[in-house]
């Protein structure tokens, strides 16, 4: 069963159990997937990787919104966004630890022969496929910058 079908069956279960947070979040995610499918010139069916990309984007939106609500002294809304983020996280692949990301970066630097910050694009390109959906892009970017600047 694919990820989209899993989301649909989990939505049915959440509705039956009257879990408003889970059902509302899954509805939003399914809508985002549908919007992605119909965007562009032709409607198409998303691959599992594309669905994971959509889920990652939605999870990132929830994280950022939770931070902004916390800054604005709105703990109720912040908690709501975090809860939605946790629901979405259940459908994402396991996230890589910071140490695992550092190992991948070190291997990418060695394989590309990157020497300094100017080679950041080479390193990011080399590890992009390995970390897609498994690590936060801003974390990876900052770790690559620090590794290329000389600090590990």
The tens digit of pLDDT for each residue in 12-63 reads: 999 999 999 999 999 999 999 999 999 988 889 989 889 998 998 999 999 9
Q: Exposed/middle/buried for 63, CB within 10 Å: 0-12, 13-18, 19+? A: middle
Q: Distance from first CA to last CA of the chain, Å, rounded? A: 41
CA–CA gap between residue 6 and residue 88 (Å, rounded): 12
What is the residue extent of each domain of the chain?
A: 3-89, 98-149
Q: What is the CA radius of gyration of the chain?
A: 18
CA–CA gap between residue 80 and residue 62 (Å, rounded): 9
Report yes or no on whether pTM surpasses 0.85.
no
Fold of 3-89: Hypothetical Protein Yqey; Chain: A; domain1 (1.10.1510)
Fold of 98-149: Arc Repressor Mutant, subunit A (1.10.10)
Q: What is the pLDDT of residue 31?
A: 97
Instruction: Report residue 102 CA to chain centroid gap.
Output: 18
């Amino acid at each position: 069963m694919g990820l989209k079908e899993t989301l649909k069956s989990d939505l049915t279960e959440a509705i039956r159990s009257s879990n408003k947070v889970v059902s509302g979040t899954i509805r939003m995610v399914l809508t985002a997937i549908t919007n992605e499918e119909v965007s562009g010139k032709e409607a198409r069916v998303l691959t599992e990787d594309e669905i994971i990309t959509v889920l990652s984007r939605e999870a990132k939106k929830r994280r950022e919104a939770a931070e902004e609500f916390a800054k604005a002294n709105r703990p109720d809304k912040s908690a709501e966004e975090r809860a939605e983020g946790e629901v979405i996280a259940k459908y994402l692949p396991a996230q890589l630890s910071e140490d695992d990301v550092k190992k991948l970066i070190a291997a990418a630097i060695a394989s590309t022969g990157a020497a300094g910050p100017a080679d950041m694009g080479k390193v990011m390109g080399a590890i992009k496929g390995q970390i897609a959906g498994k690590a936060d892009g801003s974390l990876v970017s900052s770790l690559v910058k620090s590794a290329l600047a000389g600090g590990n």
